[in-house]
Amino acid sequence: MKYNAISLALLTSLALPAGVANANAVPDDEDIEKLTVSGERLNNYLYEKADSLSRLDLDIKDLPQSISVIGEEMIDDFALNNINAVLDTVTGLNVEEVETDRTYFTARGFDVTNFQVDGLGLPVLSGNVHGDIDTAIYDRVEVLRGANGLMTGTGSPSATINYVRKKPTENTQISARGQLGSWNAKRLDIDASAPLTDSVGARVVVVKENRESYLDRYELDKTVAYGVISAALTDTTQLTVGASQQTSDAKGNMWGALTLYYADGTPTNFDTSTSTSADWSQWDVTDTRYFVFLEQQLAEGWSLKADYTHIETDEDTQLFYTYVSRDADTGVTLLDPETGLGLIGYGSEYTLDDEHDYADIYLNGNFDAFGQTHQVMMGASYAKVAYTDQSLYDFHTGNGFPLLPAMEDWTGNTPLPEFTDGATGSDVEEEQTAVYFGGNFALTDSLSLLAGGRFNQVEVTGISYGIDETLDENAFVPYGGLVYAINDDINTYFSYTEVFTPQTERDANFNRLDPITGEAKELGVKASLMDGNALLTVAYFDIDQVNVAVDDGFAANPVSGVEEQVYREADGISSKGWEVDLAGEILPGLQTSLGLTFFDLDGDQLVADYTPEKLVNVNATYQFQTLPALKVGTSIRWQEATSRNVGQVPAAYANAGQDIVIEQDAYALVNMMASYTVNDSITIIANVNNVTDEKYLKSLYWEQGYYGAPRNYMLSVNWQY
């Protein structure tokens, strides 16, 4: 479906005459509100609930795990226009931007593979995200740290990330935001919500963004359209339907990144703007989604909820990778430290078409027994992902693998290859089915037990680049948590779950790695502070896993002959540490979202070296009491030093045998903001990012990497009605 067609459909939804959109009126607005409101915000940076993550009507304070919620207020304050920017502010989350348009996320030392929208979406077998995911259509982002096998599938002990879509509002609200920024950045957002009748509401969000970059040749053109209609069909039945489409057209994108060391072990230390892309590189991603949600209130305290989402993704790319030959004995890249020569280009045309179907139905409610009120829920989930992709190369013209100059002299000027050779690709279908149950049982007035389990079945069939992807795994994942209320303001908790995560990674013989197994435990305290305006969480976690996929270099695919990343199974990796999270208003006018993370990762030195085990996140704004129109703030992210051992210096150099280690010193990224409310309708916000102009590598998750943005600016003008 083309963008113009879906945009027209979304805009038309707001213009429906009352007679067309009519449904049975509800006698009471309060009844509608009970059906639509979740994740209630207490004040600007503090949320009371994260219903989509728990499936139970429990406050965040009463859930036995550490949870953060980043909402619209903070997103607007710091111009967090994409998901990577949002997650960079979250306690314990590490955003691994390995390329310009591909990102991995880690938490507590492990990959995040649990991504949800409105609480729906089973874990993906590959945790990377393509393209630039916009935040305009989301009301908030919920992050549950640690394993959540009861609610989210396979019990991965890193985190669950849930994007909560915007829904129609009770009253008419219209807002527009225009932004101008560094590197010719331009953006316009429009968000309109209105009741169409007493029982039907609609909302539309449209975004257009175009920006160049500090990186040579890179630019992005992005368009977003979203529409949703919510209708109270009866006094007890609510139906929500919607659709969204995002197109991200990137030019001058990287595939892979910079070689970070010369053959003698010295760092390449390129300019921040250096890019490996060709001037014809492109990565176009179109993501189209349709969803329907039905909630039926049953007997008092019980409800039945059904949710379905269909996703279509289309990717068209022309990619250019750079690599150098490797020493046969050490495996070290042979990039000449004197001339900078040795780079070889590697062009490919890649296309991907995939379809995702997610369905979930569950029943939840309350019952009384033994003098206490208890909550239970039970349900089933199904997901199907079918994808085909194809890679083409040029082996015959000489343009497919050109020799390059030193990277300092590289301008991206290389002939476009004829992508007609070596056709290879994938035709794979993945199905995940789960049945789950659980409840929150009040053992006493102060002690509650959250317990249950989930049975998961994962089946994969098909061929990918000549390799049989067949997989058939199943496991039961138990979950348990205890919460003890010391008083009305302080809870202590303990939770436990087992870990079961299938993997798609291949070893050097191109055999699939075994599933990850293990267990995760968490012990913590949650305290309501400042008369309920702030929530403090202190958590200790202890995670043990075996068979975790760890980078094992490159090997030639036995079918295609092309070198691919391969992995090995770690004998066992453990992660033990602490997290501190504070959200809310800690002083009059001072809104905060603060995080402190420190842990110890053992079992594999490579992973421990490139994973930052100490992180600090500070996000704070202050609204002056004597001048309430003015607000200032800062967002600071600090991480400890990281490194990656890539082998030893080959024999041709005087320091032969010396370890080559890529190093990233500890660094802090400091962002500042100031906003001024001109009147009830207009607010002006100024943002300065990377105030200190820090030079830093975005990630050492791969052996290659690139640098983050230098100091940059953004000016926003917000209008609302």
Q: Is 455 among the domain residues?
A: yes
158 phi and psi angles, rounded to 5 deg: -85, -75
Q: Kindly list the strands in the beta sheet with 67-71, ordered across the sheet, starting from the edge strand earlier in the chain.
A: 67-71, 138-145, 159-165, 114-117
SS3 360: strand
Write out pLDDT tens, residues 176-230. 999 999 999 999 999 999 999 999 999 999 999 999 999 999 999 999 999 999 9
Q: Structural domain tally of the chain? A: 1
12 phi and psi angles, rounded to 5 deg: -65, -30
> What single string gives the DSSP state of each residue in 466-488?
TEE--EEEEEEEEEEEEEEESSS
Q: Is 30 among the domain residues?
A: no
Q: Is 99 among the domain residues?
A: yes
CA atoms within 13 A on the CB side of 633: 29
Q: Is 9 among the domain residues?
A: no
140 phi and psi angles, rounded to 5 deg: -165, 165
160 token code pair = 């669950």
Whole-number pLDDT of residue 325: 85
Q: Which residues of the chain have pLDDT under 70?
A: 1-43, 51-53, 122-127, 149-155, 559-563
Q: Is 318 among the domain residues?
A: yes
Q: Is 340 among the domain residues?
A: yes
Closest by CA position to 93, among listed 535, 579, 494, 499: 579
Q: Is 524 among the domain residues?
A: yes
Q: Is 24 among the domain residues?
A: no
Whole-number pLDDT of residue 123: 60
First to last CA, the chain: 32
Give dist(CA 258, CA 417) in Å, integer: 21
CA-CA-CA-CA dihedral for 24, 29, 33, 36, to nearest 10: 20
Count the Cβ atoms, other than its own, within 10 Å of residue 641: 12
CATH (domain of 370): 2.40.170.20
Report CA 587 to chain centroid distance, whole Å. Answer: 31
Closest by CA position to 664, among listed 48, 96, 203: 96
Q: What value, to the nearest 5°, has the Cα angle with vertex 255 and ends 208 and 143?
A: 60
SS3 192: strand
657 token code pair = 């045998």
Which helix or strand (DSSP H or E) is residue 350 part of? Answer: strand 343-369
Whole-number pLDDT of residue 4: 46
Range of the domain at 308: 51-720
Give dist(CA 480, CA 447) in Å, integer: 13
Closest by CA position to 540, among listed 485, 493, 601: 493
Residues 6+ apart with CB under 8 A from 34: none
Give dist(CA 158, CA 145) in Å, integer: 6
Count the Cβ atoms, other than its own, within 10 Å of residue 395: 13
Whole-number pLDDT of residue 509: 80
